[in-house]
Structure 1
Amino acid sequence: MKLIRLPIVPYGQALALQWQLRERLQTRSGHDRESVGYLLCLQHNPVITLGKRARAADLFSPTWLAEQGVEVFKTDRGGEATYHGPGQLVIYPIIRLDALRMGVVDLIHGLATALAASLHGYGVSAVYEPELPGLWTTLDEPRRKIASVGMRVAGGVTTHGAAINLVNDLSPFSMFVPCGMPGAPMARLGDYTDEPGLFESFTDAFIDHFQTFIDTELEPLTLELPAKDAWITSATLEELLAGEQT
């Protein structure tokens, strides 16, 4: 399984990359390690994504969002609205479920478990709530949401995944109804620790815990994405992968 770590990537470009990686996995055969899939770890420019159940009324002030440079993007995942921005770790497992011999519920549980284990390393306790998809801290009363989890499966391959607040600005969450829960209190890891290099160290810890869960080594794969406004096609992806192999 390949590990792709990227910097800040526009949401639309990352979504196109997920689609192309999914298609590549769907058209391959066999159960060798390379065909298991890809794990993307990245950040996004400020964006509110709207799932299939999101409503226009969930956005309190579209004008303010536009003035602040926050993009609004309709996406193909389930669920409602959430926010991504710099300093938040976004994780996209693009995985053939049959290759791992597990179902999507198992993968979601493993993703949440790896996130919770990584938080524990910083002295932060969090629990996964399936009915309120995400991780909620147990250090606060009321509990605060620190991560969102949700996946889509098509043709036996997963897309989307999880987003955990590390050192990102939380104020944009007040400008919409996050995950269909008005006034849901939000948290970030930086609220509990001022350790330097928090984003990178947490990402490293998560990768270690996740590969332990799937019992598969994650092999780093470097991709140099095109300009931020360039859409990723199947041909673009093959060129990127060919460049990595030369």
Structure 2
Amino acid sequence: MLPKFVYAVNYGNSRFDEMWKIQKQLHLARQQKRNPDILIFTEHEHVYTFGKSSNQNHLLANEDELNKKGIETFEIDRGGDITYHGPGQIVCYPIINLSDYSEDIHKYLRNLEEVIIRTLSSLNIKSTRNSDYTGVWIENEKIAAIGVKVSRWITMHGFAFNNFPDLTFYDRIIPCGIFHKGVTSLKQFGIEISNLELINLFKKYFAEVFNMEIVSISKEELIKILDSSILETESELIKN
């Protein structure tokens, strides 16, 4: 089978609400077949996000603490419970059509885990899945959280991988609603790797696991794609 053509962009730093809006625009455009599959890699400002199955009690900080630390909160449409995003963490948002791969959400989640597991293996770190919880683990601690939304077989949201974040921000939540397990990062294992190097590894293993032909584009090229998709959508609305 021929590999699927996919764009990949290193977006750099972004606010969560900015990137959520971009995801929604790309998701709609992908449904309308206005653009190919896209992988977005970004690094967010401090934020806690609540998935559809979140318990508000899993946020341990009060409003004053959040304001002092400059932490925003959002209730969003992905699966899962509360999680943290912030500097030193790579977040990947695949906007892909599963009809071109496999219309199986569980397989998609396992494939995302496999991308991360192979990336860690290339850094000589043994990681595993957990039969009870989605994500990637090193012994009893999670290094990558996964939460997705799939609508009309188009995906959004994705995974968050801890490279060198400040792990104390996890002290203010029950990460993913799991009380008895911890979180970790590459930094905890003495591994120093830039986000750019790590993103290149992720792209390599996305290509392997999903049989993709990945073409890297710039942030500016992504914005042009967005602008073009919005104009085409508005034109269709005017016609109708």
TM-score, length-scaled by structure 1: 0.84
By how many angstroms is 1:239 displaced? 4.6
Matching residue of 1:13: 18
5 Å-filtered alignment, 1:69-218, equals 69-138=70-139, 143-182=140-179, 184-195=181-192, 197-218=193-214
For structure 1, which segment, 109-118 or 121-130, has the greater mean C-alpha deviation from structure 2 after superposition? 121-130
Task: Report if the CA contact (8 A) 1:223-1:240 is conserved.
Answer: no
- Aligned with 1:217: secondary structure? strand
By how many angstroms is 1:183 displaced? 5.2
Moved over 4 A (4+): 239-242
- Gapped runs of 5+ residues in structure 1? 227-231
Equivalent-residue separation in structure 1 for 2:96 and 2:175 (angstroms): 27
Matching residue of 1:229: none
Equivalent-residue separation in structure 2 for 1:184 and 1:174 (angstroms): 12
**Identity percentage of aligned residues:** 26
5 Å-filtered alignment, 1:16-31, equals 16-28=21-33
Structure number with higher strand proportion: 2
- Aligned with 1:220: secondary structure? strand
By how many angstroms is 1:206 displaced? 1.3
By how many angstroms is 1:6 displaced? 0.7
TM-score, length-scaled by structure 2: 0.86
- Two-structure CA RMSD over aligned residues (Å): 2.4
By how many angstroms is 1:131 displaced? 2.3
Residues 130, 241 of structure 1: alpha-carbon distance in 2 compared, 3 angstrom cutoff = farther
- Aligned with 2:19: secondary structure? helix
Equivalent-residue separation in structure 1 for 2:74 and 2:12 (angstroms): 20
1:238 aligns with 2:223: no
Equivalent-residue separation in structure 1 for 2:175 and 2:128 (angstroms): 18
- Gapped runs of 5+ residues in structure 2? 1-5, 232-240
